[in-house]
Amino acid sequence: MKYLCLIYGDPEVWEAKGQGEVDGLVRDHFDYDDALRRGGQMITAQALEPPATATMVRMRDGKISATDGPFAETKEELGGFYLIEARDLDEAIKVAGNIPSARWGSIEVRPVKTLVRP
């Protein structure tokens, strides 16, 4: 079963870290990515640019509107994701708990819903 692991973090925590700590965490991510690939659990993973670079898109009454940035008022920001393959939620939680960014933030784990064309 596929699970999406959404990585959330407080930008103030990241800003308080030294460049060496940030570089170390990034290296840990690359190492963990390699381990998940070897174990057959990695589908893909990506970091995201900051929310200030986001564009919100909506379709209303046949018209597309686009506005800058998200509107959610939250301390933590979505910073990246892993799409993994796991036997069940317990295994997905174990994988998510070992994502290096879990040390400084939190990981939301969601099963991927398979849609069937009607």
> Model confidence at 66, in pLDDT bands (50, 70, 90)?
confident
- Residue-wise pLDDT for 8-27, tens only, equals 999 899 999 999 999 999 99
pLDDT at 51: 85
Distance CA 69, CA 50 (A): 9
Q: Encode burial over 75-103: b for 16+ CB neighbours within 10 A, e otherwise.
A: eebbbbbbebbbeeeeebeebbeebbbee
pLDDT at 48: 94
Distance CA 78, CA 106 (A): 10
pTM above 0.85, yes or no: yes
pLDDT at 54: 85
- Of 17 and 76, the structure prediction assigns the larger pLDDT to 17
Average pLDDT of span 16-43: 97
